[in-house]
């Protein structure tokens, strides 16, 4: 590097993290304060400050605290159950039950007319298929492009 002063080559480059200089957040006397805190903790422990806290248990709690604890547990159980049912609904919601190609199928005019007039039973008694057109194609063959008796009708869709 060509710098005015040769000592500048060896300057410490500041460490930058997330656009901020790390040196700005370093506390030089943090170790001293940590030692002071540990000494205070040892002093309190030697004086017996924490001894009376160790003896407290559930038998020392009053009825009000026990009631609050039971109410909190009941609320947590209800929230967990609600979360489980929500997850179950979400899991089943995001999938199609019927393929889109087959979702909006409607009956043809002639088939709908026959069904509306309750001629289905008569057709079945005669041996006719009520779901079949006059040209012999069924509803699925006609809509999806299956076998057809029409000479110019070609198969349009493949699965």
The most distant pair of C-alpha atoms in the chain lies apart, rounded to whole Å, by 109
**Is it the case that residue 14 has pLDDT exceeding 70?**
yes
Give tens-digit pLDDT for 62-85.
Answer: 888 889 999 999 999 999 999 999
Q: What is the pLDDT of residue 29?
A: 92
Residue 29, sorted as left (phi over 0), alpha (psi -120 to 50) or beta, turns out to be alpha
Q: What pTM value is reported for the model?
A: 0.27
CB 105 within 8 A of CB 139: yes
Distance CA 24, CA 21 (A): 6
Q: What is the pLDDT of residue 42?
A: 93
Q: How confident is the model at residue 159 (pLDDT cuts 50, 70, 90)?
A: very low
Give tens-digit pLDDT for 79-101.
Answer: 999 999 988 888 777 676 777 77
Better pLDDT: 125 or 24 = 24
Q: Hey, what are 86's tokens?
A: 């929500």
CB 62 within 8 A of CB 105: no
In this structure, of 40-49, 64-73, 77-86, 108-117, the range with the lowest mean pLDDT score is 108-117
Distance CA 25, CA 13 (A): 16
- Can you tell me whether residue 21 is helix, strand or coil? strand
């Amino acid at each position: 590097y060509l710098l005015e002063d040769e000592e500048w080559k060896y300057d410490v480059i500041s460490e930058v993290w997330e656009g901020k200089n790390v040196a700005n957040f370093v506390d030089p006397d943090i170790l001293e304060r940590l030692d002071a805190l540990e000494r205070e903790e040892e002093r309190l422990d030697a004086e017996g400050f924490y001894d009376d806290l160790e003896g407290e248990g559930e038998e020392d709690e009053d009825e009000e605290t026990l009631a609050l604890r039971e109410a909190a547990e009941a609320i947590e159980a209800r929230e967990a159950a609600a979360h489980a049912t929500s997850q179950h609904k979400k899991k089943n919601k995001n999938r199609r039950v019927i393929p889109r190609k087959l979702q909006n199928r409607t009956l043809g005019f002639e088939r709908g007319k026959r069904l509306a007039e309750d001629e289905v039973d008569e057709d079945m008694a005669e041996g006719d298929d009520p779901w079949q057109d006059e040209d012999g194609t069924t509803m699925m063959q006609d809509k999806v492009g299956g076998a057809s008796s029409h000479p110019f009708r070609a198969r349009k869709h493949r699965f």
